[in-house]
Amino acid sequence: MELRYLTPLSAKEQLAHGLDMAQPMARADRVRYSELDVLNHVNNKAYMEWFETLRTEHYYRLCAPFYDGLGEPRTVLRNADIHYIKEMVAGQSYIATARVSGFRNTSYTVEQQIWSDGELHARMNGVMVMRRPDGSAGYPLPEALRRYFVEKEGAAAV
């Protein structure tokens, strides 16, 4: 199966390209020359950009619709823990993934991974905090979004 770039991948495509488990959001891309360091490995900053790009797409495609008519929250990445596992090089194709693993009243934990050729190269866990549209206070997750997290992403209330 040919790898499609810059488009959300189906569960079947994800599994065909070596992911151990399909995720709610996954997208493929290729390492660019501008993402390399002096040793011709992907610079750590590039991983952050890949995670941010996919986390944003995950939010707008899968979470934001639950705020229709409620006012869109300000989303804040409170913290991120990245584990670099295996180097990547120029031209290498990869798949970035995202899923929500847990949630509280006004925040959720997102798990992200970078896969290439059936191998995990990096992972990140981040906490996203929802703030009211004016930024004045926490913004509770809509009940329908909480149900979606449990039913479709396998998340748990913590």
- pTM for the model stands at 0.95
Residue 34, domain extent? 11-157
Domain containing residue 17: CATH number: 3.10.129.10
Domain count, the chain: 1
pLDDT, tens digit, 9 for 90 and up, residues 112-156: 999 999 999 999 999 999 999 999 999 999 999 999 999 999 999
Contact 54/124 with Cβ under 8 angstroms?
A: no
DSSP string, 47-98: HHHHHHHHHHHHIIIIIGGGGTTT-PPEEEEEEEEEEE-S--BTT-EEEEEE
Residue at 6 is within a domain: no
